[in-house]
Amino acid sequence: MISSNEIRKSYTTAAISKPKSHLTTYWLAMGPGILITLASGFILLFLVLPLAVIFMEAFKLGIGHFFKSFQDRSAWHAIQLTLIATGISLPLNLVFGIAAAWAIAKFEFVGKSVLITLIDLPFAVSPIISGLIFVLIFGLQGWFGEWLAARDIQIIFAVPGIVLATVFVTFPFIARELIPLMQEQGSDEEQAAISLGATGWQAFYRITLPNIKWAVLYGVILCNARAMGEFGAVSVVSGHIRGKTNTVPLHIEILYNEYNVVAAFAMASLLALVGLVTLALKSFLEWKVRQDFKATLEPTLAEDH
């Protein structure tokens, strides 16, 4: 039994250490637990489960069936086309991204803010619209349609259209990654290089590039993942011609619509794999880029001798 004295004592202590403090402590102790459970639940439901489903469905009929899905000629073609579209759009966006970031971060010029906004355009518009833009420009009924048809050049419903759409959609990735880092780094080092007699190209190649190499790689990784996975814009310009203008994502859709679930998921597992590798590389590169940022922000000072 508790004596009244003790009760009073515990009451006074509670009063001193703020009223309701018990409740607060209770919530503080429980809060993280609840939040962690909620978050884990979400991750399980929305990330882990779908990923698991992809691989489970792909291997549902055994490993033999999985590999058989790739023996199809059109499947191979889709993979090839995806690699071609990515292989062309990546270098293009690499050059463009570095050039745009270099111009924006290191120089002052008229129309700079317009350029920054324009770079974000592909993020802002729906991929369907991105695709339609090219149909409207190069399609048979489009602006240059007749001119192109007269010269027997096909862009829409052909590989060039797919490449164009992919380039457009993946346009911002590298530039967006580089601009903040390059702005932070400023142009002191380049100015120093020039004053020491370096040409513009030497300054870029020997000073700028080494300072941004990790960020460039990071942008390339993201750009690559998006280029391989792009569905909407490519879907509009491709025309879904099997064995001709189908990329991997388009091919997955067709297979799925034909109730060829195993083949669809086998192809999907390829993209998922690319995604996982991307994630791993991304987190490694993020760490590297942060180091570059840190080097600019707070130079660590050794002791003075």
Partner 1 sequence: MGIEVQHVSKTFGSFKALKDVSLKVDDGELVALLGPSGSGKTTLLRIIAGLELPDDDGTGSVLFSGEDVAKTHVRDRQVGFVFQHYALFKHMSVFENIAFGLRVRPKRERPSKNAIADKVNSLLKLIQLEQFANRFPSQLSGGQRQRVALARALAIEPRVLLLDEPFGALDAKVRQGLRTWLRRLHDEVHVTTILVTHDQEEALEVADRVVVMNQSKIEQVGTPEEVFHNPASEFVIDFLGNVNVFKGRLEAGKALFDDVAMELPENSRFQTGQANVYVRPHDLDIDRHRNGSRSLAANIERINPAGAHAKLTLLGIDGNQIQVDLPFERYTSLALKQGELVYVSPRKVHVFAPEYMI
Minimum distance from CB of 289 to partner 1 (Å)? 14
User: Using CB under 8 A, which of 101, 179, 207, 250 touches partner 1?
Assistant: 207
Minimum distance from CB of 288 to partner 1 (Å)? 12
User: Using CB under 8 A, which of 50, 87, 91, 210 touches partner 1?
Assistant: 210
User: Using CB under 8 A, which of 211, 244, 256, 284 touches partner 1?
Assistant: 211
Pick between residue 37 and residue 199 the one whose CB is nearest to partner 1: 199
Minimum distance from CB of 94 to partner 1 (Å)? 20
Does residue number 303 form part of the binding site for partner 1 (CB under 8 A)?
Answer: yes
Q: What are phi and psi of 299, to 5 degrees?
A: -60, 125
258-297 residues near partner 1, rule: CB under 8 A: 295
Pick between residue 33 and residue 299 the one whose CB is nearest to partner 1: 299
Pick between residue 79 and residue 289 the one whose CB is nearest to partner 1: 289
CA angle 265, 266, 269 (to 5 degrees): 80
Helix H, strand E, coil C: the string for the chain is CCCHHHHHHHHHHHHHCCCCHHHHHHHHHHHHHHHHHHHHHHHHHHHHHHHHHHHHHHCCCCHHHHHHHHHCHHHHHHHHHHHHHHHHHHHHHHHHHHHHHHHHHHCCCCCHHHHHHHHCHHHHCCHHHHHHHHHHHHCCCCCCHHHHHHCCCCCCCCHHHHHHHHHHHHCHHHHHHHHHHHHHHCCHHHHHHHHCCCCHHHHHHHHHHHHHHHHHHHHHHHHHHHHHHCCHHHHHHHCCCCCCCCCHHHHHHHHHHCCCHHHHHHHHHHHHHHHHHHHHHHHHHHHHHHHHHHHHHCCCCCCCC
Minimum distance from CB of 113 to partner 1 (Å)? 16
Pick between residue 257 and residue 300 the one whose CB is nearest to partner 1: 300
Instruction: Specify the amino acid at residue 148.
Output: L
174-203 residues near partner 1, rule: CB under 8 A: 188-189, 191-199, 202
17 to 56: interface string for partner 1, x by CB under 8 A? ----------------------------------------
User: Using CB under 8 A, which of 206, 276, 277, 286 touches partner 1?
Assistant: 206
Minimum distance from CB of 192 to partner 1 (Å)? 4
Pick between residue 177 and residue 190 the one whose CB is nearest to partner 1: 190
Pick between residue 213 and residue 282 the one whose CB is nearest to partner 1: 213
Pick between residue 72 and residue 190 the one whose CB is nearest to partner 1: 190
Q: What are phi and psi of 301, to 5 degrees?
A: -100, 125
Binding-residue total with partner 1 (CB under 8 A): 24
Q: Using CB under 8 A as the criterion, which residues of the chain lie in contact with partner 1 when the complex forms? A: 188-189, 191-199, 202, 206-207, 210-211, 295, 299-305
